Amino acid sequence: MSPFKYTYMFKNKPKCLICDTTLRDGEQMPGVVFSPEEKIELAVKSSEFGTDIIEVMPTISISERILTKELSNMGLNSEITASTMLKKEHIEMAVDCGVSSVTLFTPLSDLHLKYKLKIGREENLNRALDMVDFSKEHGLKVYFAGEDSTRADINYVIQFINELSNKIEYFIPCDTLGCLTPFATYSFIKKLKENCKTPLCLHIHNDFGLSTANTLAGLSAGAEIFSGTFCGIGERAGNAPIEEVCTALRFLNGIELSVNYSMLTEICNLVELYSGMKLQSHKPIVGENAFTHESGIHADGVIKHPGTYENFDPEFVGQERRFLFGKHTGKGILKHILEKYGLLHGDLNNMLKRIKELSESYHHSLTETEVINLLTHNEDLIRMEVHELEHHSSLTPDIQTQPDLLNL
């Protein structure tokens, strides 16, 4: 890792907490609908991974209320919190579901107050105070989210937080439109920490592709908690991906969280399956290509020492290393594969030439299985697998599932 990875900003920083909003904000991603059974499985996995809080929204449907009750009674290690508007009936629904906390929310920007709620700042604050008191009277812990805080008057944000200070567990100044840069996020959170005693939780959207960087910046500025989703799913361009933030904290900032990092790929694959949102192949940490190598220079380096082109062992996040073969393949990886399967080297130049021809012809790289088929003169099998790939968008079967190809 880089010698510049540990910055003074993270020095002596205590463990930060994780709020998983995959089941709430994640499902608000257009086109995503989880079944109750899928949500239960994802909640169990999230708890086993080590998230501290799991957010749900029981007010949106009867099935969601039933789900919230079930999750509340499962004895998960993660706390179940109900996200609710500033309405008594919504808070009462949360109480009926058996949760121990609610996450109340209201906008703080003048834009939202004027055009969405059609109220002023003072009325907004008074409503918040009333509903916080109402929640506490019903025995609930209260977390509070200020929607669109990063586009609000920061003096109003500070006033709002301080008015709630002795009544809430933490405040979430939401970057609802993901419109800050890392430097702006740091300054924003630093300003709040200098003027407010309430713990802060980050909730940052990804509209400009900066959610992970902004979350890290906010944590370095003093925020104690971050909210995110697995795979980064959520409204519009999504939220801060839990898998990216946790792994970056571990390897780039030296902060070891009490989580099971090796579950990250498994959980993200489940989210991908249940959400129907296909992960980018080049998705950091959990993407199919995150630990896949084809370029001759890179593959040769990884064979000699994985640290040349990998930040950490892929097994750390439940991934595995793969090699592909195509236009950019070199002799080193080809020789490595021949030795791996006990094949004679033969004419490496001609083998490499044929691999590159096939790769260009089929417009995709070849897998280990396809290369073995080629080297054992079974090019028809390669064509069959390419046809399967094109029509079903599935990976070529792993060579271990085709023992006949190993009978060399």
CATH classification at residue 264: 3.20.20.70
Boundary residue ending a domain (244, 275, 306)? 275
Amino acid letter, residue 27: E
CA distances from 71 to 68, 80, 100, 133, 328 (A): 5, 7, 12, 25, 50
The beta strands (E) that lie in 240-337 are given as 292-293, 322-323
376 in any annotated domain: yes
CA dihedral over 252, 192, 243, 246, signed as positive or negative: positive
Torsion of CA 19, 22, 26, 31, to 10 degrees: -170
Same domain, 192 and 266: yes
Amino acid letter, residue 390: E
Instruction: Say how many C-beta atoms besides its own lie within 10 A of residue 375's C-beta.
Output: 20
209 in any annotated domain: yes
pLDDT band of 229, cuts 50, 70, 90:
very high
pTM over 0.85: yes
Task: List the one residue out of 331, 311, 327 whose CA is nearest residue 319.
Answer: 311
26 in any annotated domain: yes
- The tokens describing 179, both together, are 């419109």
Q: Which domain holds residue 125?
A: 8-275
Give me the phi and psi of 397, to 5 degrees please: -55, 140
pLDDT at 351: 87
pLDDT (average), residues 207-236: 98
**Is 285:355 a contact under the CB 8 Å cutoff?**
no
Same domain, 244 and 385: no
pLDDT (average), residues 286-301: 95
CA dihedral over 308, 309, 310, 313, signed as positive or negative: negative
Q: How far apart are CA 55 and CA 22, in angstroms?
A: 8
Task: List the one residue out of 342, 266, 329 whose CA is nearest residue 299.
Answer: 329
Same domain, 224 and 176: yes
Q: How far apart are CA 387 and CA 396, in angstroms?
A: 10
pLDDT of 312 higher than 80: yes
- Which tops the pLDDT comparison, 74 or 344? 74
Q: How far apart are CA 128 and CA 163, in angstroms?
A: 10
Helix pair angle (36-49, 62-72), 10° resolution:
30
63 in any annotated domain: yes
pLDDT band of 14, cuts 50, 70, 90:
low
**Is 75:99 a contact under the CB 8 Å cutoff?**
no
Boundary residue ending a domain (241, 275, 309)? 275
pLDDT of 372 higher than 90: no
CA distances from 297 to 283, 307, 323 (A): 22, 13, 12
287 in any annotated domain: no
pLDDT at 345: 72
pLDDT (average), residues 272-298: 96
Each residue's pLDDT tens digit, 151-197: 999 999 999 999 999 999 999 999 999 999 999 999 999 999 999 99
pLDDT (average), residues 53-60: 98
Instruction: Say how many C-beta atoms besides its own lie within 10 A of residue 157's C-beta.
Output: 22
The whole-angstrom distance between residue 400's C-alpha and the CA centroid of its chain comes to 30
Same domain, 241 and 335: no
Same domain, 314 and 222: no
The domain total for the chain is 2
First to last CA, the chain: 41
Same domain, 367 and 246: no
Task: List the one residue out of 186, 179, 177, 145 whose CA is nearest residue 164.
Answer: 145
pLDDT at 397: 37
In a 13 Å sphere around the CA of 245, the CA atoms on its Cβ side amount to 35
- The tokens describing 378, both together, are 């079974």
pLDDT of 378 higher than 80: no
**Is 219:13 a contact under the CB 8 Å cutoff?**
yes
Same domain, 310 and 171: no
Percentage above 70 pLDDT, the chain = 89
Residue written as tokens 């080590």? 50
Task: List the one residue out of 347, 404, 405, 394 whose CA is nearest residue 371.
Answer: 405
13 in any annotated domain: yes
Q: How far apart are CA 41 and CA 32, in angstroms?
A: 16
Buried b (16+ CB within 10 A) or exposed e, 192-208: bbeebebbbbbbbbbbe
301 in any annotated domain: yes
